[in-house]
Structure 1
Amino acid sequence: MNRRDLLKLSGIALASAAPTTRLWAAPTDYQGQFLIQMQVRGAWDVASYCDPKLNKNGKIINNWAKTKGIETAGNIAYAPFANNADLFEKHHDKMLVINGVNSYTNGHNAGQQYNFTGSTQAGYPNLSASFAATLQADFPMPLLVNGGTFSSGDVIVPTRLGRDIETFNTLLEPNVSGTKQYLPDEDIRAIDNFRTKRARDNLDKASIAADKRFLEDFLIANKSFPNFAEFKRVLKSVDTTGFDMRENLNQQMLYALVGFKSGTSVSADTVINAFDTHSDHDNLHAGRLTKANNAIIFAWEVAKQLGITDRLNMFIASDFARTPWYNDGGGKDHWPIGSAIVMKSGVSWTDRVVGKTDDGLKAYKLNPNNLRRDDANGVILESKHVMAFGRRLMGIENDPLMRNFDLRTDGVDFKFDY
C-alpha cells in the first residue's frame, strides 16, 4: 500500500466504522451503568429453565422430570436440564427471576415486540435503544446491535457489529495488516495533523451548510480515534481461555463489554436464535440453552476481568414460552406465559424469584407492592411491567425522551427491587 492509498484509508476508517455521519467523542469520566439486553428468539421453555415443572397425575410436562427433581441454587429453583446448573449455581446471587409474565400472544413478531420493548405498538424502542439514546451525545457507538427483532424507535442509530467483527477489527488499526505496519507512527501522526489542519481551514471557508456539517463531523470523528484505539487494546487484554469464541453469542458479549470498558459504548442488544422447537424439543432446546447459558457465564467473566461487574445490567427475555406438554412430534408449541431474568451484581433484590405459575404454567395475580399472590385484587404480570422496571433500574423512566413511549401501565409499578 502506498502513502496515497493509506491517506485515503485513514480518512474513511472512522466514518466506515460508525453508525451515522455523526460521531461523538466519548467522555473519559463516565462512571454510569451499562446494559446488555439479550434476546432469546423463538420462545424458550421456562418449564425446563427458571420456572421448572414436575410431571403430575400422569401428565408428562418434562421428560427430565421422569427421573429428576427440581434443583435450587440459593433461593432460585431451576430445572436439571441442559447445563442450567452451571449458570444458576455460579450466578444465582445476581439473578432476579420474574415468572408468570403474560405476553398475551402466541405470535413470534408480536411476542418479540412486546417482550423487548414493553409495548405491542410498533415503533417503540428496545430497552437497549432507550437507554443508549439518553447518553448518545457522549459516545462514538452508544448502542451495539446484532440483528434479531430490534427497534430503535428512531431515537438512535445503532452500530451493527455482531456479524461483521473482522471488518471492524481492520478499521481499528488501518495502518496494520497482521504483523505488518504500513507506515511508521510518526508518518501517521503527520498525516493526521495535515488532515485536521486542512479540515479546519476548509471549515472556516465553507459557505454551504452540508459542507460545514461534513467537516464538523470529520473533526469530531478525529477526537473519537483514541477511544477506538483503546477498544483494540482492551480487546487484546481479555483472556477467553475455556470459552468457544467461534460461538457468535460469545463474540457479541465480548464486543459489548469491550465497548463499555473502552468508552465507546454503553448499551448492547445481543441475540441467540433457534428456540422454536416444535419437534425434537429436548435435544434441540438443550443445545440452544447450553449456548445461551455459556454466553451469560462468559459475559460475567469478562465483566470481572474488566472491572465493570458492579456497573453491568442484563435483561434476558424471549418471545413467550412453550407448552407444558409435548406434541406428537416430541416438540413443544407456543405458550403465552413465560419468564424474564434480570441480572445485576451487588444489590439486595437478587437471588430471588418473583411471580408464580401453577402446575400448568398459568399465571397467578400478584400484589404489585409486596409481590405476593393476590387472586382477589392482584394484577397479572405483563411484559410492559418488566420493561417499566427496566427503565426505572436504568434511570430513564422520567427522561423526556421516554414520554413519547408511554408503556400504559396505568400506574401499576411492581416493586421488584424493594
Structure 2
Amino acid sequence: MDRRDFVKLAGFAGLSLFFPSVLGRDAHADSAVWGGPYFLHMHAAGGWDPTMLCDAKVTAAGVTPAYENRLVTEVVEMNGIFVPTATAGGKFLLRNNNNPVEDPQNFFSTVGKDVLVLNGIDTQTNNHDTGVQGLACGHNDVELPALAALFAGKVAKQINVPMAFLAGGQYNRTGDVVGVSRFPGDKVGLLTEPFKAAPQDEKGLLSEVAVRRITELREERLARLHGQATLPRTKRTLDAFHEAAKGGASVNLLKSIAGAPAPSIDSLAGGLAPDTQAYLTATVNNGTPRFIDIGRPLETILRCFQAGVSASATYAQGGFDTHADHDNNQGNAMSTFLARVRYVLLRAQQMGLRDKLFIMVTSDFGRTPRYNTGNGKDHWNVTSALLAGPGIRGGRAIGKTDEGHKALRVGRGNVAQNLSDKDPNGVRIHPSHLHRELRRVLGVDQTPFIGQFPLPATDDPLALLA
C-alpha cells in the first residue's frame, strides 16, 4: 500500500474536499496507517421512539393514560434496559412491512450485550435541526464541530490519514480541524477507466490516438498552470492532481476497498436473532442476502477503518419522523436501523475492529407519549442513546423515564441513582453531558484546538462513563 499515492488520489478523486492547513503543519505524511481507535456515529434521522427498543413501556393506567402503546403488551427489564417482548398477537419483533427483521431482547442479550444504554436524555428541544446538532456536537445553541470531526482532527494531528473523517451523517461540521471526505463507492471504476462509458466495457469511447492526444494536452496544461502558480499550496494541489492522474497503486487501493467481495452470510447468520434468520438470509433482487444488503453502507466505512485510511465516520438513516401510522412506520425504520447496528457489531468482530471501535447511536429526540389523531406520534424532547467501545461498561442502562416517558434525574455523584425530577440532588442528562464524557474517553479534550469549542458551561460534568 503506497499511502503517499493514496493521499494524492484522495484529493484528485474528490474524496477529501479540503485539507485545512493545520494538517500540513502537524501531520506526518509518511507515518504508518492508522491502527485505531475508530469512532462511528450512527443517527436515526427524524426522531426515533426508544420505547420500542430500550426504554419500553405499556399503556399506563387511567382513562386518559400518561403513556399509550397500542403495540407492546409486555416489557422485560434487563439490568435497567426496558425491552419490549410481547404484543397482543405474540412475541414482539421489529418488523418491516410485517417481515421480522430485529428482536430487541435478542440484540441486548447477544451481540449488544456490551452496549451501554442512556435513557431519559433531555434534548431540550423538539426541533429537528437543533436535536441533530445537539446530539452530534453536544451544544444546542452553538454549531460546534461534530464529535466525529473532532476525533478525526485529533488523529490528523498525529498522522496524515487520507480520509480521516468520512462524512455520511446529517451533521458534519468540522470547525476546520479536519477535511471532509466522502467515499465515491461505485464511482471508483470510473477513475480506473476514465475513457469508458462503464468500467466493464470492452472498448473505450475514444480511439487510442485521441486518448494519447488528450493526455499530452493535459500534461501541457498542468505544466503551464504549475509555472503560473505562486502559492505553495496551489503547487502542491497541482502536483497531487498530476500524480493521481497517472493512476497506479493508489487507484488500485480505492478499487480494492470498493470492490472487495461481500462477506459470506454463512459467517454472520449465527449472530442473527432466530426469528429473523429466514428473512435476513434470503436473497433480494440483486442476488445478495438481505442482511448483507442492509449492511452495505456500513461495510464501506468498516473497510476504510480496517485499511487504516479513515479514523471516524458519521452515518444517518431516515424514516423516523412518524407523525402518522406510528407503529408501522416506526417499526419499518427501527427494524432496519437496529439490523445495521447489529451488522456493525458483528462485522467489526470479524474484522478485528471490535476492541478498537467506539460507536455512538443517537436520534434527533423521541416521540410523544400519546398518539395524535392520525395514529402518529409527534416530537418529544426525551430520548435515548446507545454507546459501545473499549472501556465503556455496557450491558446496563443509565437514566430512566417515568410512566409518562418524562425524564427522571440521575444522582450528581452517583449516576446509577434515579431520582425524582424535582430532587435537587439530581440532574437531567443532557447531550452536553454525554459529549463531555466522550471527549474525555476519546482523548479529544487534550487536543490543542479544543479550547475553541467549549461545551455549555451551565452543565456540570456527569461521570456517565467513569
TM superposition score normalised by structure 1: 0.81
Identity, % of aligned positions: 27
Q: Name the SS for the 1:152 alignment partner.
A: coil
Deviation at residue 75 of structure 1 after TM alignment: 5.8
- Which of 434, 449, 456 aligns to 1:386? It is 434
**Using a 3 Å threshold, how does the CA distance of structure 1 residues 244 and 144 change in structure 2: closer, same or farther?**
farther
- Which of 74, 81, 99 aligns to 1:76? It is 81
The 5 Å alignment of 1:223-262 reads: 226=249, 229-230=252-253, 232-233=255-256, 236-239=260-263, 241=265, 242=281, 243-244=289-290, 250-262=295-307
Distance in structure 1 (CA, Å) of the matches to 2:366 and 2:40:
21
Deviation at residue 85 of structure 1 after TM alignment: 3.4
Partner amino acid, structure 2, of 1:77: F
Partner amino acid, structure 1, of 2:311: V
Q: Name the SS for the 1:381 alignment partner.
A: coil
Deviation at residue 71 of structure 1 after TM alignment: 2.9
Distance in structure 2 (CA, Å) of the matches to 1:149 and 1:231:
25
Partner residue in 1 for 2:68: 61
Distance in structure 1 (CA, Å) of the matches to 2:455 and 2:349:
34
Distance in structure 2 (CA, Å) of the matches to 1:17 and 1:240:
31
Preserved CA contact (<8 Å) 1:143 1:268: yes
Distance in structure 2 (CA, Å) of the matches to 1:391 and 1:403:
12
Partner residue in 1 for 2:32: 28
Structure 1, unaligned runs of 5 or more: 1-10, 183-193
Partner amino acid, structure 1, of 2:38: F
Deviation at residue 103 of structure 1 after TM alignment: 1.0
The 5 Å alignment of 1:395-414 reads: 395-410=443-458, 412-414=460-462
Preserved CA contact (<8 Å) 1:73 1:92: no
Deviation at residue 20 of structure 1 after TM alignment: 3.0
Describe the superposition over 1:47-71 as per-residue Cα deviations: whole angstroms up to 9, x where unpaired.
1211111222143521123xx3113
- Which of 296, 305, 314 aligns to 2:350? It is 305
Structure 2, unaligned runs of 5 or more: 1-7, 86-91, 95-101, 205-215, 266-280, 282-288
Deviation at residue 286 of structure 1 after TM alignment: 0.4
**Using a 3 Å threshold, how does the CA distance of structure 1 residues 359 and 75 change in structure 2: closer, same or farther?**
closer
**Using a 3 Å threshold, how does the CA distance of structure 1 residues 240 and 318 change in structure 2: closer, same or farther?**
farther
Q: Name the SS for the 2:110 alignment partner.
A: helix
Q: Name the SS for the 2:404 alignment partner.
A: coil
Distance in structure 2 (CA, Å) of the matches to 1:224 and 1:358:
60
Describe the superposition over 1:151-189 as per-residue Cα deviations: whole angstroms up to 9, x where unpaired.
22333331223xx5211354367699338699xxxxxxx
- Which of 141, 153, 156 aligns to 2:175? It is 153
**Using a 3 Å threshold, how does the CA distance of structure 1 residues 12 and 391 change in structure 2: closer, same or farther?**
closer
- Which of 1, 12, 16 aligns to 1:19? It is 16
Preserved CA contact (<8 Å) 2:263 2:292: no
Q: Name the SS for the 2:71 alignment partner.
A: helix
Match status 1:113 vs 2:133? yes
Describe the superposition over 1:321-353 as per-residue Cα deviations: whole angstroms up to 9, x where unpaired.
0011111211111110111111225x4611110
Distance in structure 1 (CA, Å) of the matches to 2:132 and 2:437:
18
The 5 Å alignment of 1:153-192 reads: 153-161=175-183, 164-171=184-191, 177-178=199-200
Partner amino acid, structure 1, of 2:74: G
Q: Name the SS for the 2:322 alignment partner.
A: coil
Preserved CA contact (<8 Å) 2:9 2:244: no
Distance in structure 1 (CA, Å) of the matches to 2:79 and 2:191:
45
Preserved CA contact (<8 Å) 1:45 1:322: yes
Distance in structure 2 (CA, Å) of the matches to 1:207 and 1:107:
47
**Using a 3 Å threshold, how does the CA distance of structure 1 residues 411 and 317 change in structure 2: closer, same or farther?**
closer
- Which of 350, 366, 379 aligns to 2:410? It is 366
The 5 Å alignment of 1:77-96 reads: 77-80=82-85, 81=92, 82=94, 83=102, 84-96=104-116
Preserved CA contact (<8 Å) 2:145 2:174: yes
Distance in structure 2 (CA, Å) of the matches to 1:15 and 1:170:
13
Deviation at residue 240 of structure 1 after TM alignment: 5.0
Preserved CA contact (<8 Å) 1:116 1:127: yes
Partner residue in 1 for 2:274: none
TM superposition score normalised by structure 2: 0.74
Partner amino acid, structure 2, of 1:214: T
RMSD between aligned alpha carbons? 3.5
Match status 1:276 vs 2:329? no
Match status 1:322 vs 2:346? no
Preserved CA contact (<8 Å) 2:35 2:308: no
**Using a 3 Å threshold, how does the CA distance of structure 1 residues 151 and 203 change in structure 2: closer, same or farther?**
closer
Partner amino acid, structure 2, of 1:19: S
Partner amino acid, structure 1, of 2:125: T
- Which of 38, 41, 48 aligns to 2:45? It is 41
**Using a 3 Å threshold, how does the CA distance of structure 1 residues 314 and 409 change in structure 2: closer, same or farther?**
farther
**Using a 3 Å threshold, how does the CA distance of structure 1 residues 224 and 406 change in structure 2: closer, same or farther?**
farther
Partner residue in 1 for 2:277: none
